[in-house]
Amino acid sequence: MAHLNKSEAFRQGALIFVFLAVLTALEFFVAIAIGSVVLLVTIALVKFGLVLHYYMHIYKLNATEDPDIDQHSYAYKLTTSRLGLWLFLLSDSFVFGGLAVSRFYLLGLTRPPLNQILGLVVTSVLLLSSFFMNRAEVSMEHGDRKNFILFTSLTLVLGLAFVAGVLGVEWPSAMAEGVTPSTNAAGAIFFMMTGMHAFHVITGLIFLGVIIRNGSRGLYSPEKHWGVEAATVYWHFIDVVWIFFYPALYLIGKIF
């Protein structure tokens, strides 16, 4: 993919966010008005593809390098680090995939009585955090340390808001509706899916705190900022997981 200048990269990131927001609104409408599982899955897959390509930059795995490159060089280490990170994410995705499969195996096309509006709100917060994380990465790629710290900090705040919304609001709300880990399979799978995802969000927040500290100390440059790229990919991976967990928990199926 051709290298974009800063303003072009910002515009592209904003356009992708608009697409994601529209698709999320459409997803909610489909669940309320139509209830088509096929459409909901299709929308989730489109959102997944957009994030994977434009925010996570999976195409960088195919970046060609000189076969005679020095194995002690930064370029070689960057290539191997990218591969290592993506292998880790692939292995981690099996955990989340197993939880998603368990949800449908145990509940079929039914779902627990969760607050769909609250689900939409926390989903929107997480999508917005990915938008700012994209801008943070673009800022560092172009040597704009001030905006890098600003946008990463905004991402961190939104991540905290997401965790507070799920653990501090959604969990008590679900328990008030009789959905608890010990009540039935629905309660167990809901708390396991959201709890495992929240754990990853919290680890992502720690990661963001580290790169904010390092960025403020001038440890990153446009040429060398693997820590920023790794944190960005990981954060968007968390978003990708929720792209599938959100419809699986809040939209697909009838309340049992």
User: For 170-206, what is each residue's pLDDT tens digit?
Assistant: 999 999 988 999 888 999 999 999 999 999 999 999 9
What is the distance between the alpha carbons of residues 61 and 126, in angstroms, rounded to a whole number?
A: 25
Q: How confident is the model at residue 65 (pLDDT cuts 50, 70, 90)?
A: low
Predicted pLDDT of residue 70: 64
Spell out the domains of the chain, with CATH numbers in brackets: 8-255 (1.20.120.80)
Angle, helices 6-29 vs 37-50, to 10°: value is 170
Predicted pLDDT of residue 67: 61
Contact predicate 37/252, CB 8 Å: yes
34 burial type by CB count under 10 A (0-12 exposed, 13-18 middle, 19+ buried): exposed
For residue 215, pLDDT beyond 90: yes
36-44: average pLDDT: 96
Q: How confident is the model at residue 79 (pLDDT cuts 50, 70, 90)?
A: confident
User: For 105-160, what is each residue's pLDDT tens digit?
Assistant: 999 999 999 999 999 999 999 999 999 999 999 999 999 999 999 999 999 999 99
Share of the chain above pLDDT 90, in %: 84
What is the distance between the alpha carbons of residues 20 and 155, in angstroms, rounded to a whole number?
A: 17
Q: How confident is the model at residue 68 (pLDDT cuts 50, 70, 90)?
A: low
Tokens 């890098």 sit on residue? 148
Q: Could you tell me the pTM of the whole model?
A: 0.94
176 burial type by CB count under 10 A (0-12 exposed, 13-18 middle, 19+ buried): exposed
Q: How confident is the model at residue 60 (pLDDT cuts 50, 70, 90)?
A: confident
Strand partners, 254: 110
